[in-house]
Each structure stands twice: as C-alpha cells, then as structure tokens.
Amino acid sequence: MRLYAVCVYLFLYIPIGVIALFSFNAGRHASQLQGFSTKWYGKALSNPFVMDALETSLIVAFTSALCASVFGTMAAVALQGIKGPIRAAFDLLIYVAVMIPGIVIGIATLIGLVTVFDQLNPLIAAIWPNGFTPPKLRMGMGSLIAAHTMFLMALVVIIVRARLAGMDRALTEASSDLYATPMATFRQVTLPIISPAILAGFLLSFTFSFDDFIIAFFVAGSETTLPIYVFSSIRRGVTPEINAIGTMVLVVSLLMLITAQLLLQRGGKKQNDSR
Amino acid sequence: MTRRTRNWLLLAPAGTWFLVMLIIPLTVVFIFSFGERAPAGGVVPAFTFEQYANLPARWAAFKNTMTLAPIGTLSALLIAYPLAYYLAVKSSPKWKTILLVLVIVPFWTSILIRSYAWIFLLGGRGIPALLELVGIEGVRLINTPFAVLVGIIYGYLPLMVFPIYVSLDKLDKRLLEASSDLGAKPWRTFLQITLPLSIPGIATGCMLVFILLMGEYLIPALLGGGKVFFVGNALVDLFLQSRNWAYGSAVAVTLVVVMLITVTVYMRLINRLGASREDVSIM
C-alpha cells in the first residue's frame, strides 16, 4: 500500500522534476544533460517577447484577481442575508460559470464582445467630437481581464461563502445587540473572520488567471500572455528556454499556493480558538 | 440605507458582470448557432438548422471526446482510489496533511507546463530512448491516444483523489472494526462497507473530471499531435482558423447540451444507487 502511494507520488512529481532538472542543463539540446548552468534563465529573462508576455500576464492576473476578490466578497456577504429568487438566480449563475467549459466561455466572450463592439464602434464614432480620432473598442487586455474576473468572481464567492457559513451567527448578533451599526459590525466582526478566505481567494484567482491558457487564447486579441507564448513556442519545438520559463511559472504558482494554504489553515484555527 | 438597498448595491457589480460577460455572450452563441456563415467570416442572421444538420462532419471529434473522456475518468479513478484510501485510512496523522497537500498542489499549477513535461518524457529522446537502452526498439509514444490518456490521468488525478479522500476520511472507522470483529475478511469489509460508503466521493470525483475533460483542448493539442483531437480542438479550429462562427456555435451548443445530458443522467443513476442502498439498509 505504501509502495503504491510512493509510486503515485513519483508519477506526479517526476515530470515536474525533469523539467526543472533540464532547465539547468548547459547543453544546447533540450534532452541531453551536459553540465550545470543557469544560462537559459538568463536567456529567458532577457528575451523581450518573454518579458512582454510576463508583464501582460502579471497585469491581467493582478487586476482580475483584485476585481474578483472585491466584487465576489461583496456578493458573498449580500447573499448571506438573502433568500428567495435572487439568491437562486445567483446560485445558478455561479453554477453556470463554473460548469461551462473554459473553452466555451472563451468562445462566447470572443463572439459576444466582437458583436457588441461592432454595434458600438460606429455609435461612438458618431457622437465623438469632430477632429478627434474616436476610440475603437477591440479585444485585448481589457476583454481578457473582464473574462477572467467573471469566472474568478464565481470562485471567490464559493470560497468566501464557505467561510461565512462556518461563522458563528452569535458574533454578529452580539455586535448589533451592542448597538454597532451594520457597517461597524462588518468591519470589526465579519471582515476579520473572512479576510483569510478573501486573501486565499485572491491568491488562487491570481494563480488561475496567471496559468490560464484557453480563455486567453480566444479573448486576448493581439496581446500575448505567458501561457500563450509558451504554447506557441512548444509548437515550434522543445527548447531549454521553455524549461526555464516553465520552472519559473511552477515556482510562482507554488509560492502562491503555499501562502493561500497557510492563510486558510491559520484562519480556520483562529476561528476555532475564538469559540 | 435599508438592508434591502444595501444588499442590492452589494450584488450589483457581480450581477452586472455576470450579465455582460456570461449571459449575453452565451445567448449570442446560442443565437449564432441558428445563423448562416457570412462570406467574410462572421454570421448572417437567419433561423436555420443547417449548422446542426452539418454536425456529423465533426463526428470524429465528438467520438474521440466521448470515448477518451470516460476512459480517462475511469483510469484516473482506478489509480486515485487506492491512494485516497491510503491517505484516509492507512497513513499516519502526522503525514496526512502534507501528503494531501502534495496531491493537490500539481492541480493548481499550470496544466500547460505539466502537459509539456510529457511531450518531453514521451518524445523520441525520453522514455522511448530509455527503452532502446534495454533493447526494446521502435516504440512510439508521443502523438498517440496513449499519450493523450497519460496526459489526462496526469492532469486530473489530483481532482479525483480529493473528493474520494474526503468521503473515506468521514467514514466512521468503528464500522470497519465492527466488521472485522464480526469475522468479515478484509476484502469483504471493503466491498460491503468502505466501497459503498465512498460512493458519494467517487461520484463527485468522476463528475468533476469528466466535465473538465469534455472541454479539454490543451492535452490532445500537445500530446495527440493532431491525430487525437477532441471537440475543444475542433472548436479552436472553427473559431480561430476557419472563422466559421455559425457552425462553431452549433458545435459549442451541442457540446454543452451533451455535457448537461450526460451529467443529468449520471446524477440520476447515482441518486438511484444511493436510494436503493438505503432501502436495503432499512431492511
């Protein structure tokens, strides 16, 4: 039994390990070990295409994770105190957002937005003052952030709601019995309890957005995110540079994940202690 | 500010966002699937079932998806179950958490990079080269259904282990002791107690993996080399290469409908299984 478990862990981690190992390979060829070197990291980090893609990915991941955390938390808090059709509608929306395959979300966003933009662009041009070039709505970083935020909002609502559901009702009741305004109750009681969940939601959202390929593939327009760059380089052939980029991407996600995990655990402990 | 207005204000951004970025786009896809292809690549508004009538042209993609998705789900289940059992029942409490985290972590890292790792391992200079060293020659792994299956199992194993672990962990261990005290052999205890009680976990795991597999694009694209393609690959081709939006929309709608039907039927079956077992236990 233990041997079996060891085998499965090897299966899970050998491929990642091999990528990391070969990223330090000095040789030109991607699959022959020829001594230790960090030159591929240097090469990747001085490649303007990689750095551009990395910048786009970081901006998109940060912005959409931030929007998703704020709006998702707001929705989760409101849904806590609501019953009836509105709650059912939101439950359905969240279910649909999570259930529909990412590829269909990408496609729908692409053709939905392009169709809406085609209608809006002449309108904007018509009302724009003469002599100025009117702005043209098109697919790009904005549409990608909007699409990621939509999906990640659903994720944040699910995470924050779980924490709210586990929260002791008596705490908020006590607060309002002591004449705290709803805002004060939220700031001083609810927020401290759910903040680890919000932060964990933010980190998971960031990781998801940073790693997402399929939605970005459809929605990013002429922008290139890091996963899109990696995908098109893989298509052209396996190089040590991709190993280096891949290793860095894995390390970034790992750091985010460990932080999120620690936050969720510590938050859970604190809550139990307070009881 | 009343409680009601406050809740409305809190829900407004998320609600608007879902409307603009989810409901409207999905509606557009649905409407376009009844349209006609415009010469320039867009859609001419129409009400025709022509696109749906043309679906058999992409039959191979649906067939591949509907065979490899269930096979992949089942293989992942067979590999995941013993591990989940080990983690929940056999491993020491000290190691449990860290071992569990180690299973989940890969799922949250880039599936692109993890699939890429298998191009590396299954490609000509990877495992086939190692096999040549021991005298087995001419093995071709990359760009085969096998490669896609390995990628699927590798990618989705964590998602399968987790729900099964949760259901096995909740299981009252006294039941197992009672069973063996009453003289049941270990395999009998497993078949009559452990396995039936872990069915909710199995059901959740299978459904999660299956749903994600239905929309898979990256794994077949990277490891199938254009020979093993899923509906996802057909969709990328239709929207980004041939820009046939009307037909592509019909394929996308069909994918979602097939998915919903499969999941509904599956849930019914699982519920019935659960219900019939309860009848037995009452007797």
CA atoms within 13 A on the CB side of B95: 11
Q: What's the pLDDT score for residue A270?
A: 55
Does residue A66 sit in the same domain as residue A150?
yes
Task: Answer whether residue A43 is part of any domain.
Answer: no
Instruction: Look up residue A228 and give its amino acid.
Output: I
Nearest CA in chain B to A259: B105
Distance between CA B14 and CA A67 in Å, rounded?
10
CB A57 within 8 A of CB A145: no
The answer to whether A203 and A211 are in contact (CB under 8 A) is no
Query: Which among B7, B120, B123 is the nearest to A19, CB-wise?
Result: B120
The residue range of the domain holding A31 is 1-37
From CA A32, how far away is CA B35, in angstroms rounded?
53
Partners of A118 in the β-ladder: none
A and B: number of Cβ contacts within 8 A: 220
Whose tokens are 């990915």? That residue is A57
What span, in angstroms and rounded, lies between the C-alpha atoms of B213 and B74? 12
List the single residue in A13, A77, A149 with the smallest CB-CB distance to B17.
A149
Strand, helix or coil for residue A140:
coil
**Which residues in chain A touch residue B121, judged by CB atoms under 8 angstroms apart?**
14-15, 18
For the cut 60, the answer to whether the pLDDT of residue A275 exceeds it is no
Measured between alpha carbons, how far is B107 from B276 in angstroms, rounded to an integer?
Answer: 34
Q: Do B110 and A261 touch (CB under 8 A)?
A: no
- A45 belongs to a structural domain: no
CA distance, residue A101 to nearest chain B CA (Å): 5
Distance CA A62, CA A56 (A): 10
Are A125 and A180 found together in one domain? yes
Considering chain A, what is the average pLDDT of its residues?
88
B108 at A interface, C-beta within 8 A? yes
Specify the DSSP class assigned to residue A81: T
Pair A72, A144 in one domain: yes
Q: Does B266 touch chain A (CB under 8 A)?
A: no
Residues A166 and A72 in one domain: yes
Instruction: Please state the φ and ψ torsions of residue B48, each to the nearest 5 degrees.
Output: -140, 150
State the pLDDT at residue B274.
67
What is the pLDDT at residue A160? 93
> Looking at CA atoms only, how far is residue A221 from chain B in angstroms?
11
Same domain? For A26 and A150 the reply is no
What length is written for chain A? 275
Note the pLDDT of residue B283. 33
Whether the ipTM is more than 0.85: the answer is yes
For residue B169, pLDDT beyond 80: yes
State whether A177 and A264 are in the same domain.
yes
Spell out the residues 6+ positions from residue B124 whose beta carbon is closer than 8 angstroms to its own: B142
The predicted-structure confidence for A10-33, as pLDDT tens digits, reads as follows 999 999 998 888 888 877 665 567
The answer to whether residue A258 sits within a structural domain is yes
Residue A27: the pLDDT is 75
Calculate how close chain A gets to B249, using CA atoms only, in Å: 8
pLDDT digits (tens, 9 = 90+) for A105-122: 999 999 999 999 988 999
pLDDT tens column, A213-242: 999 999 999 999 999 999 999 988 777 888
Please tell me whether residues A33 and A58 are part of one structural domain. no
pLDDT at B275 (0 to 100): 59
Task: Choose among A181, A121, A147, A126: nearest CA to A64.
Answer: A147
Question: What is the domain partition of chain B in residue ranges?
Answer: 58-282
User: Which of B102, B108, B123 lies closest to A9 in CB terms?
Assistant: B102
Contact A227, A212 (CB under 8 A): yes
Whether residues A141 and A32 share a domain: the answer is: no
A54 with A116, same domain?
A: yes
Q: What is the pLDDT of residues B220-278, one digit of tens each?
A: 999 998 888 999 999 999 999 888 999 999 999 999 999 989 888 988 888 887 655 54
Summarised one tens digit per residue, pLDDT across range B95-124 is 888 898 889 888 888 899 999 999 988 987
The string of pLDDT tens digits covering residues A237-260 is: 777 888 899 999 888 888 888 888
Q: Which CATH number is A54's domain given?
A: 1.10.3720.10
Do both A221 and A265 map to the same domain? Answer: yes
| Facing residue for B86 by CB, picked from A4, A31, A81 | A4
Higher local confidence (pLDDT), A89 or A165: A89
| Structural domain count of chain A | 2
Question: Distances from the Cα of A13 to the Cαs of A8, A168, B87, B230, in angstroms?
Answer: 9, 40, 17, 26
Task: Evaluate if residue A134 carries a pLDDT over 90.
Answer: no
Q: Which of residues 27-66 of B touch A (CB under 8 A)?
A: 27-29, 32, 43
- Looking at the fold, whether A60 and A185 belong to one and the same domain comes out as yes
Given a cut of 60, is residue A273 above it in pLDDT?
no
**Residue B62 Cα distances to A85, A245, A266, B36, angstroms:** 36, 34, 46, 22
State in words which class domain B58-282 has: mainly alpha
Same structural domain for residues A91 and A56? yes
A42, part of any domain = no
